[in-house]
Structure 1
Amino acid sequence: MTRPLSRRLLTLALASALALPAWAQTALAPFAVSDIRIDGLQRIGAGTVFTYLPVERGDTLDAAKAAEALRALYKTGFFEDVRLDHQGSILVITVVERPAINKLTLVGNKDLKSEDLLKGLKDIGLSEGETFNRLNLDRVTQELNRQYNNRGKYSVEISPSVERLDRNRVNLTLNIKEGKAAKIRHINLVGNDSYSDEEITKSWESHTSNWLSWYKRDDQYSREKLSGDIEKLNAWYLNRGHVDFSLDTTQVAISPDKKDMYLTAGITEGEVYSVSGVTVSGDTVLPKEEIEKIVEFIKPGSTFSRGVLEFATDAITARLSNIGYAFAQVNPAPTIDRDKRTVGIDFQVQPGPRVSVRRIVFKGNTRTADSVLRREMRQFEGSWYSQAAIDRSKVRLSRLGYFEEVNVENEPVPGSDDQVDVVYTVKETTSGSIAAGVGYSQLSGVNLSLQLSENNFLGTGNRVSVGLTRSTYQKRYDFSFMNPYFTDEGLSLGYNLWWREFDYSSYNVAQYSTNSGAAQVFMGLPLSESDSVSLMFGIDSNEILAFPGSTPPPLVDYISAVGNRTFHALRTQLGWSRDTRNDYFIPVLGSTQSLSAEIAMPGSTVEYYKLSYDFAKYWPLNQALVVKTAVNLGYGDSYGKDFTRNLCYTAPTYTDSNGDGILDTEVPGPAPSDPCLPTSPDFDKTVTASGLPFFENFYAGGIAAQGKVRGFVDNTLGPAYAGISGYRQPLGGSFLLAGSVEAIFPKLFDSPAARVSAFLDFGNVYNGWDNFSASDLRASAGVALLWRSPMGPLSISYAMPLRKKAGDQIERLQFTFGGQL
């Protein structure tokens, strides 16, 4: 009996001790409150306390009223301690305030972004300026542990530290040691007799370690990923007719060191069912035969598939939503016959009210005028709702290049079930630049530029560019303006003016220079949502500066045959383009095509034409991999008369430059005269100018040439001239063939401004179609980084030539900064 008695006495003593503070605060003799004084306040105003205090002057304070007052003040969360006392009839409330959070710092978090964490902490009252409550800190620690555990990081350590400051403030630091995510060591499916583990788990996000796990991180356990994979397991069987499939058990085991995970799922496959018949019921709005035609691809006798049902349901819903039934519902009701192993499907259509769009609202466009966005709309106010038109409008906004992000949602109109507002929310991005800058590339060296380039000038959607560029090979002054909506029908109109002094010898091209200028006007007209045509007229002048002895003789002969070193051209260009990409900056779906024909019109110094075709297509294989295929074709020739002249040349002489007895340096004679003098010892030479002018040739090789074949020095592939010294001068060609296959990894960086790719390039240029030979194509493979940095675009590639020939100029590492990506 002694032990139970002692326990009861101990319990009574503890209860008395715990009750003592409450008794001390509430065992006040009732009295009438004549005044109220609050002691201990530092940050909180007395008026705030009186707002919560259920006691006023003139009230009688007794034990019940005192207890109520204590509960009310503690409930505010402002105070660590509250005491009630009195001096005569004056109620004295003594408080100890909780400190305020002066600064909240997160240290060590990489997997979870600080801005996301701080937003979550603010939701539970833990943010800078708020009152510090240690209970909230414990809740935060538990929540962070839960979030990291869901991402497979079970060894995470979160250590909060509190630094006391003056004026009742604290600095709060959450030190996070994330540790490494537990790796999936084994996935075991039990009961799958019809399909192998590899077949079923091929599309899963969770995998055991493989050679791509360093990039995909698919061997890192995550509860969210596993939930998605379990749903894929369910879909796998239901899409193959296993109507009675069931997931019996799921087990997730972790090793004692919390580094390895083992996943096990027990399943029952069930029998395969076929479709017995398909019907359509309900209010179909459209003729019933039209809806039945949408689902006629589901044939009786075919294997049942939930995925096919969902596709058919979406097709009916989309058809109705495009004629105004925004809230249409289609319920595929199955009738299961387990004896015959068949499923009958009845698509029950509930169209709901026909909906019109009351307003189209734009949010987030702080710089771009509403009218610029509104002209891209294919859904109109006051017309019937169309999901296809709304989605198309979103794509058109995304492809403008003005916005980093475009989202759309429907907002019901209060008090109306047949009207909605369509709201487009955009996040604007830089659409141009006003800068004095320095760029550099291995091809052109240092580039100094003063450039105003704006694709959305003053928010009007007009494109304006004014520039001055100087580099080792050119001086350029240009002005360009284009209004993409010169008319409401979408006719664009623009102008180009430019002057350029260009030294091709510094551009890995034959040694000659040009002084050229042009004035051009161009217009474009859309043919459809993705197709447009363009037309350009212009006049230009091009003075060719050749240097006998340095400029290759074929080029000198061409100029001599024409008889004029200044070439004038009345130029016109007709083009067609198609763009079905889903995004302007980072497309992962769709294609681009462009076909152009440029003609130097009759009356030009040389009459010629150039044809170009460019094609690129993006193939999304999954979220982590997009394949881009591209091809570039170019061809040019003259269509006018050939130029032929008979010139008188002085034969060159040769000297021994190094004293080895070999004449190796050519000393050209005087410039040719026409005709030869009767007494001249010189010889006659007939020169001809035909085909595409050499200054309009195509070039290939390198990172910046029109025919991009990385790994070779820019512009050096194709025909070239090498004199007696052996110095090789690329001439370009009138026929270009180039292309690439590129694997883009959009998930490798979180930033949409950067992307990494692996590529295979091929291409070359030829002196006319007749000289084309597939055996002369060059090829290379490598990796590339493209980054739209704040200071300008940066492109870096490292390539290994796979197909090359003697004399090719190799350059594996290539980069350009400050140019176009």
Structure 2
Amino acid sequence: MTSLFPTTLFRPAAAVVAIAAALAPMVSLAAEPFVLQDIRVEGLQRTDPGTVFAALPFRVGETYTDDKAAAALRALFATGLFKDVRIEIDGKVAIVIVEERPVIQSVNFVGLKEFDKDVLIKSLRDAGIGEGLPFDKALVDRAEQEIKRQYLSRSLYGAEVVTTITPTDRNRVNVSFTMTEGDAAKIKEIRIVGTKAFGESTLKDLMDLTAGGWLTWYTKNDRYSRAKLNADLDTIRAYYLNRGYLEFAITSTQVTISPDKQDISITITVQEGQPYTVTAVRLQGEYFGREDQFRSLVTVRPGEAYQASGVAATVKAFTDLFATYGHAFARVEPRTEVDRATGQVALTLVADPQRRVYVRRIDVAGNTRTRDEVVRREFRQLESSWYDGERIKLSRDRVDRLGYFKEVAVETNEVANSPDQVDLVVNVTEKPTGNLQVGMSFSSADRLAFSASVRQDNVFGSGNYLGLELNTSKNARSLVFSTMDPYFTVDGISRSIDLFYRTSRPYNSLGDQYQISNPGGSVRFGVPFTEYDTVFFGIGLEQTNIGATAGIPNQYFDYRFRYGPRSTSLPLTIGWARDQRDSALTPTAGRYQRVNLEWSAGGDVRYLRSNLQYQQFFPIGSKLTLGLNAELGYGKGLGGRPYPVFKNFYGGGLGSVRVFEQGSLGVIDPTGAYIGGASKFNLNSELYFPVPGTGNDKSLRIFAFADMGNVWREGERLDAKSLRASAGFGLSWISPVGPLKLSWGTPLRSQPTDRIQRFQFQIGTAF
């Protein structure tokens, strides 16, 4: 938990200690050295006498001097337990007289709304203000000022904090902070002065800070923050520098607040300068004869406008390439030759690779729970080998993807007296990896459902996963026990074991339900072939029980009649996955590919089931994202038996073809039940754009969609004429309880018998 206060503001009152030390000879009076016969301590109420004696630099039988007395006073004041300390001499007896500081009995807050009380209490305690701690007026005064500063950082400029100290019995005090928070100051106006090349509205659209809008109650982007303003200024500066305005400058920034401290106006004055075109890009310095390789990394082209981001990207690419050859401290300096008369600039990249180094040792720091080997086995940079920047970055990313740490950073340290060696320190910050969750979800398909799960992603710091999940959806209930060892072998082969019991109770048109239970288990292994590709294979044992309740669909009844109510299968699975998306929740670029084959080679049921999925995301400008998703499923019965109906694919609804009711596409049984089909095809497209007024916030987005697909029975041709299609728009929100999607649309291709559901929503859905 992050403290609200910088700890440097709450150091002990060093000035008091210094004054006490300076006055020590006066307090103890000048005394000739003598041998102590006894030491007495007076004035203690709560402090243990041993604490005092431990701080004294003299003992009975030792020689007492004024210097030792001064050192004793300094040590006792430094404990922070005493308001006053003095030493008196009675014959050959030293009497230490102390006046204890009051102890804080309670810390209370009145009118606190903006901050979390528990976080504030912990932050104050870390700063030395808490129940049972000695009372220090200086610390309390500084805490009051820091709380006021925190209110200012949240645009609460009218906030007032008053501290009340109430003495109680036995030298104790109550500390009470009374807050008058008021309303947050809102940005009323933002002006950008001096723009000529680009419109003021264009530049304001780049900023996260904005004047009040209809959604700023959610985004809070109309609350002034100096840090956010600086970030916006950098964004504007980068916008100009990436369009050739090499000499662009922000000459002033004025922030004014109304007398009632409720409205803020921001005026930004810019000086654009003139645009410059690149005439040449030259390489200078030592490139080890690999100029062509380095030149291929240059993203700035002659004839184009000067781009600061392109220059920065090129410099980084150069230093990264030098690092792959072992030059950890390579320097690349971009130099520009500007011709203002013609508006042209020549760029020279001067390289100084410095010495080549190798890694002597790799240390792991900050892992209070996770074992060293869990971090080390993800590293691709080896000890006693040449420094390789690409492998180090890959290693850092692999450790970060474990999900066990809040932060992962790799620090490179030079080795003293060894210019050709470096040590790497992997600094990690642990985060909780256990999860006990009890939740509730609601969807237009399953209605109200309860779920509970207990999982630990890093059991005993070993990196293994252990979980137990329970779902009580009305139509699909499940109990699943799972465990995974990501390094079942030293080569990184993973092993997963699942034990499950699932039941499904689909509807039919008669209002009846029939139950299918599916107990079983499986074991899977994942073999990493590359850093992005993993092949999975496994074996399972499943049993399917078809109930005989009224309203059972004809196909289920027929299968039950021909092969019995209970079927056993021994599915063998093999799959491949590659995930190159930039985010699993809100992707804006990259692709995801997956292939899975399931073959039941033993038992009563023989079939082949395959599933292929492809996703691609394209960024369009800085705010729009186009997402495409295609999925193909195919099943076939083997051994002279039909494809088992309980292994059917389903279509319709979110995750398939929206606007059509969940699971309603494909074969409809004479009883009216939706039973899916042996093959399916989905094609989905979504265009995401930000909600007006939310800036670049990707947790809340609007999307337009177009879907196409259907489900077919075994032996039926995948006919394009039978495809269903729909289009519409929706809202995507990464809510505290999971991804939420709402959509409204209209069918573009449908049949009179189709079940239309224009509005659909679900929590926890994917594409």
TM-score by length of 1: 0.71
Q: Work out whether 1:308 is the aligned partner of 2:275.
A: no
Is the deviation greater in 409-418 or in 302-311?
Answer: 409-418
Separation in structure 2 between the aligned mates of residue 234 and residue 333 of structure 1, nearest angstrom: 19
- 1:512-661 maps to which residues of 2 (within 5 A)? 514=516, 522-537=524-539, 542=544, 544=546, 550-553=551-554, 556=557, 571-581=571-581, 590-600=590-600, 608-616=607-615, 629=627, 631=629, 633-638=631-636
| TM-aligned CA distance change 1:769 to 1:129, over 3 Å | farther
> Which digits, 9 at most, give the CA deviation of each residue in 1:569-594, with x for residues without a partner?
56444322112356778878754321
How far residue 251 of structure 1 moved from its aligned partner, in angstroms, is: 1.9
Separation in structure 2 between the aligned mates of residue 198 and residue 438 of structure 1, nearest angstrom: 44
- What amino acid does structure 2 have at the position aligned with 1:577? A
| TM-aligned CA distance change 1:742 to 1:193, over 3 Å | closer
Separation in structure 1 between the aligned mates of residue 92 and residue 603 of structure 2, nearest angstrom: 109
- What amino acid does structure 2 have at the position aligned with 1:730? Y
> Which digits, 9 at most, give the CA deviation of each residue in 1:458-514, with x for residues without a partner?
655555678898987789787766554444333445566667676555999996555
| TM-aligned CA distance change 1:105 to 1:718, over 3 Å | farther
**2:391 aligns with one of 383, 389, 392:** 389
Q: Which residue of 2 aligns with 1:765?
A: 710
Separation in structure 2 between the aligned mates of residue 74 and residue 215 of structure 1, nearest angstrom: 50
SS of 1:155's equivalent in the other structure is: coil
**1:715 aligns with one of 654, 663, 666:** 663
- What amino acid does structure 2 have at the position aligned with 1:596? N
Q: Is the 8 A contact 1:26 1:66 kept in 2?
A: no
Is the deviation greater in 68-77 or in 762-771?
Answer: 68-77
Separation in structure 2 between the aligned mates of residue 71 and residue 470 of structure 1, nearest angstrom: 66
Separation in structure 2 between the aligned mates of residue 457 and residue 138 of structure 1, nearest angstrom: 44
Q: Work out whether 1:274 is the aligned partner of 2:293.
A: no
Q: Is the 8 A contact 1:188 1:263 kept in 2?
A: yes
| TM-aligned CA distance change 1:774 to 1:410, over 3 Å | farther
Q: Is the 8 A contact 1:505 1:513 kept in 2?
A: no
> Which digits, 9 at most, give the CA deviation of each residue in 1:155-209, with x for residues without a partner?
1111112121323222222233333332222222222222221223332232222
Separation in structure 1 between the aligned mates of residue 311 and residue 652 of structure 2, nearest angstrom: 51
Query: How well do the aligned residues superpose, as a CA RMSD in angstroms?
Result: 5.4
Q: Which residue of 2 aligns with 1:190?
A: 193
Q: Is the 8 A contact 1:732 1:765 kept in 2?
A: no
Separation in structure 2 between the aligned mates of residue 583 and residue 201 of structure 1, nearest angstrom: 27
Separation in structure 1 between the aligned mates of residue 531 and residue 151 of structure 2, nearest angstrom: 46
How far residue 240 of structure 1 moved from its aligned partner, in angstroms, is: 3.1
SS of 2:348's equivalent in the other structure is: strand
- 1:745-756 maps to which residues of 2 (within 5 A)? none
Separation in structure 1 between the aligned mates of residue 379 and residue 681 of structure 2, nearest angstrom: 39
**2:676 aligns with one of 713, 732, 738:** 732
How far residue 38 of structure 1 moved from its aligned partner, in angstroms, is: 7.0
> Which digits, 9 at most, give the CA deviation of each residue in 1:251-271, with x for residues without a partner?
222111111112223333223
| TM-aligned CA distance change 1:38 to 1:494, over 3 Å | closer
Q: Is the 8 A contact 2:57 2:68 kept in 1?
A: no
Q: Work out whether 1:430 is the aligned partner of 2:375.
A: no
Separation in structure 1 between the aligned mates of residue 509 and residue 322 of structure 2, nearest angstrom: 59
How far residue 136 of structure 1 moved from its aligned partner, in angstroms, is: 3.5
Q: Which residue of 1 aligns with 2:327?
A: 325
Q: Which residue of 2 aligns with 1:678?
A: none
Q: Work out whether 1:294 is the aligned partner of 2:301.
A: no
Q: Is the 8 A contact 1:190 1:264 kept in 2?
A: yes
Separation in structure 2 between the aligned mates of residue 301 and residue 631 of structure 1, nearest angstrom: 38
SS of 1:247's equivalent in the other structure is: strand
Separation in structure 1 between the aligned mates of residue 83 and residue 465 of structure 2, nearest angstrom: 62
**Among the aligned pairs, what percent are the same residue?**
30
Q: Which residue of 2 aligns with 1:179?
A: 182
- The answer for unaligned runs of 5 or more in structure 1 is 1-22, 644-688
How far residue 87 of structure 1 moved from its aligned partner, in angstroms, is: 8.6
| TM-aligned CA distance change 1:231 to 1:740, over 3 Å | closer
Q: Which residue of 2 aligns with 1:408?
A: 409
| TM-aligned CA distance change 1:274 to 1:513, over 3 Å | closer
TM-score by length of 2: 0.75
Q: Work out whether 1:209 is the aligned partner of 2:212.
A: yes
Q: Which residue of 1 aligns with 2:649?
A: 698
Separation in structure 2 between the aligned mates of residue 606 and residue 503 of structure 1, nearest angstrom: 21
How far residue 408 of structure 1 moved from its aligned partner, in angstroms, is: 2.0
> Which digits, 9 at most, give the CA deviation of each residue in 1:539-570, with x for residues without a partner?
666565567x833445555677x677766656
- 1:142-291 maps to which residues of 2 (within 5 A)? 142-285=145-288, 287-291=290-294
Q: Is the 8 A contact 2:396 2:410 kept in 1?
A: no
Q: Which residue of 2 aligns with 1:371?
A: 373
Q: Is the 8 A contact 2:614 2:630 kept in 1?
A: yes
> Which digits, 9 at most, give the CA deviation of each residue in 1:58-91, with x for residues without a partner?
9999xx9999999999898766567899999999
Q: Is the 8 A contact 1:444 1:507 kept in 2?
A: no
Separation in structure 2 between the aligned mates of residue 622 and residue 458 of structure 1, nearest angstrom: 45
> Which digits, 9 at most, give the CA deviation of each residue in 1:516-538, with x for residues without a partner?
66675544322211112233455
Separation in structure 2 between the aligned mates of residue 507 and residue 464 of structure 1, nearest angstrom: 41
- 1:338-353 maps to which residues of 2 (within 5 A)? 338-353=340-355
Separation in structure 1 between the aligned mates of residue 303 and residue 451 of structure 2, nearest angstrom: 70
Separation in structure 2 between the aligned mates of residue 251 and residue 211 of structure 1, nearest angstrom: 26
SS of 2:296's equivalent in the other structure is: helix
> Which digits, 9 at most, give the CA deviation of each residue in 1:700-743, with x for residues without a partner?
3457xxx55678764334432355xxxx3112123242647496
Separation in structure 2 between the aligned mates of residue 219 and residue 557 of structure 1, nearest angstrom: 64
Q: Which residue of 2 aligns with 1:662?
A: none
Q: Is the 8 A contact 1:539 1:569 kept in 2?
A: yes
- The answer for unaligned runs of 5 or more in structure 2 is 1-22
Separation in structure 1 between the aligned mates of residue 544 and residue 195 of structure 2, nearest angstrom: 75
SS of 1:227's equivalent in the other structure is: helix
- 1:109-120 maps to which residues of 2 (within 5 A)? 111=114
Q: Is the 8 A contact 1:713 1:810 kept in 2?
A: yes
Q: Is the 8 A contact 1:479 1:497 kept in 2?
A: yes
| TM-aligned CA distance change 1:240 to 1:174, over 3 Å | same
SS of 1:270's equivalent in the other structure is: coil
How far residue 758 of structure 1 moved from its aligned partner, in angstroms, is: 6.0
| TM-aligned CA distance change 1:152 to 1:355, over 3 Å | farther
Q: Work out whether 1:808 is the aligned partner of 2:755.
A: yes
Separation in structure 2 between the aligned mates of residue 49 and residue 305 of structure 1, nearest angstrom: 67
How far residue 816 of structure 1 moved from its aligned partner, in angstroms, is: 7.7
Separation in structure 1 between the aligned mates of residue 45 and residue 316 of structure 2, nearest angstrom: 62
SS of 2:386's equivalent in the other structure is: coil
> Which digits, 9 at most, give the CA deviation of each residue in 1:207-259, with x for residues without a partner?
22234423332221112222233333433333333344343333222111111
| TM-aligned CA distance change 1:490 to 1:84, over 3 Å | closer
